């Protein structure tokens, strides 16, 4: 009689252990999916912040080509996002334009240097 009793206990213990292991595996897979999704969102936010900052840079160059006294120092709203054209500096025939944009927690800062004819010399992310 004790043999049957022990078999039932072993089966019950095995079922409980397997259930716990399966729950832990399911939780681990669920968590990894969450982090993968967050990583994808971070990438998309970084890409959007880059293009927002780039759009501000293009706008600043466009405004400078129409008005050489344009000094920047303004915030541009595009849809529900914003980018900033920082004060434009000109020294020795070289114009420096700095822009930045933040989307969620991703920030992009761009620095563009151009010659007197507004030909781009360098375009870098700071």
CATH at residue 96: 3.30.1300
pTM above threshold 0.85: no
Query: Quick one: pLDDT at residue 3?
Result: 54
Residue-level pLDDT, tens digit, the chain, 126 residues: 445 556 677 777 888 888 888 888 887 777 666 666 677 888 899 999 999 999 999 999 999 999 988 999 999 998 889 999 999 999 988 999 999 999 988 999 999 999 988 899 999 998
Half-sphere exposure of 72 (CA within 13 A, CB side): 21
Structural domain range at position 27: 2-125
Q: Into how many domains does the chain fold? A: 1
User: Comparing C-alpha atoms, which of 62, 54, 61, 88 is closest to residue 74?
Assistant: 88
Using the structure block, give the residue that is written with the tokens 């870098």.
124
């Amino acid at each position: 009689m004790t043999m049957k009793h022990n078999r039932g206990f072993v089966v019950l213990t095995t079922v409980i252990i397997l259930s716990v292991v399966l729950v832990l595996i399911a939780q681990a897979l669920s968590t990894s999916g969450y982090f993968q999704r967050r990583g994808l969102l971070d990438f998309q936010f970084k890409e959007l912040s880059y293009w927002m900052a780039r759009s501000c840079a293009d706008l600043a160059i466009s405004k400078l080509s129409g008005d050489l006294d344009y000094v920047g120092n303004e915030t541009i709203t595009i849809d529900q996002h914003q980018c900033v054209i920082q004060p434009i500096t000109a020294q020795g025939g070289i114009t420096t334009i700095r822009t930045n944009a933040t989307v969620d927690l991703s920030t992009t800062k761009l620095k563009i240097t151009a010659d007197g004819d507004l030909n781009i010399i360098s375009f870098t992310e700071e």
